[in-house]
Amino acid sequence: MLACASCHGAQGEGTSDVYFPRLAGKPAGYLYNQLVAFRDGRRKYPPMNYLLEFLPDDYLKKMADYFASLRPPFPEPAIPTVSDAILARGESIVKNGDAQRGIPPCASCHGPSFGGMEPAIPGLLGLRASYISAQLGGWRYGTRTAAAPDCMQIVASLLTEDDVKAVAAYLSSRPAPADPSFAPQGSLPMPLACGSEPR
């Protein structure tokens, strides 16, 4: 995995580049789906698309298992650079959603403490604000797609620029989860069907 370390860190902990995500400890099924999506060009980031182009499923599975099994310490939470009002707006969306505009609570799939759910829903902590907004932007502009039905595409397209900013600021300011384990499969309500997450 040396070829990955220069961007994701030797333990998959991420690097100082705010755009390079942490891999360690995410559900193996989620990581595997991402590797397949990069290889097949469904999720776009040319350097990774290129590296993975001719690697078979079995090998991608081993890479996913490897990074899922690592538990390097989480980074320090970011010190918010936005107003308290924006942070509160972010907290409200992730915990309660916005019923009027049809936005489901993020917690209904990602877990009440945002730890993720087996086998394929990732946790949302330990990510940097710019990475989170880039991913939500990717879904809105079609450079990131997940297996159909792509629930995150629906969720992301309901959010305004301001919502994205608020959500990203709130999530990145949260401390590392005390218990880094995932919710068991099927234990969260999931208001929408997701192609990557069997119910």
Task: Give the binding site for another protein (CB under 8 A).
Answer: 2-7, 17, 40-42, 46-47, 49-56, 58-59, 62
**Contact positions toward ligand HEC, by CB under 6 A?**
2-4, 6-8, 19-21, 23, 26, 30-31, 33-35, 43, 45, 47-48, 51, 63, 93-94, 104, 106, 108-110, 120-122, 124, 127, 132, 134-135, 138, 144, 146, 151-152, 155, 167, 190-192, 194, 196-197
Please choose which of another protein, ligand HEC, none residue 41 contacts, taking the beta carbon within 5 to 8 angstroms, the exact cut-off set by kind.
another protein
Please choose which of another protein, ligand HEC, none residue 133 contacts, taking the beta carbon within 5 to 8 angstroms, the exact cut-off set by kind.
none
> Which of 44/95 has CB closer to another protein?
44
Give least dist CB 51 to another protein, A: 6
Give least dist CB 100 to ligand HEC, A: 14
- Cα–Cα distance for residue pair 173/42, rounded to 1 Å: 30
Q: Which residues pair with 121 in a beta bridge?
A: 117
Cβ(15)–Cβ(23) below 8 Å: no
- Cα–Cα distance for residue pair 189/198, rounded to 1 Å: 12
Give least dist CB 128 to another protein, A: 17
Please choose which of another protein, ligand HEC, none residue 77 contacts, taking the beta carbon within 5 to 8 angstroms, the exact cut-off set by kind.
none
Q: Which residues pair with 194 in a beta bridge?
A: 197
Please choose which of ligand HEC, another protein, none residue 62 contacts, taking the beta carbon within 5 to 8 angstroms, the exact cut-off set by kind.
another protein
Give least dist CB 84 to ligand HEC, A: 19
Please choose which of another protein, ligand HEC, none residue 58 contacts, taking the beta carbon within 5 to 8 angstroms, the exact cut-off set by kind.
another protein
Sequential DSSP letters for the chain: -HHHHHHH-TTS---SSTTS---TTS-HHHHHHHHHHHHTTSB--HHHHHHHTT--HHHHHHHHHHHHH--PPPPPPPPP-S-HHHHHHHHHHHHH-BGGGTBPPTHHHH-TTS--BTTTB---SS--HHHHHHHHHHHHHTSB--SSS-HHHHHHHH--HHHHHHHHHHHHHSPPPSS-PPBPTT-S--SS-BTTB--
Please choose which of another protein, ligand HEC, none residue 42 contacts, taking the beta carbon within 5 to 8 angstroms, the exact cut-off set by kind.
another protein
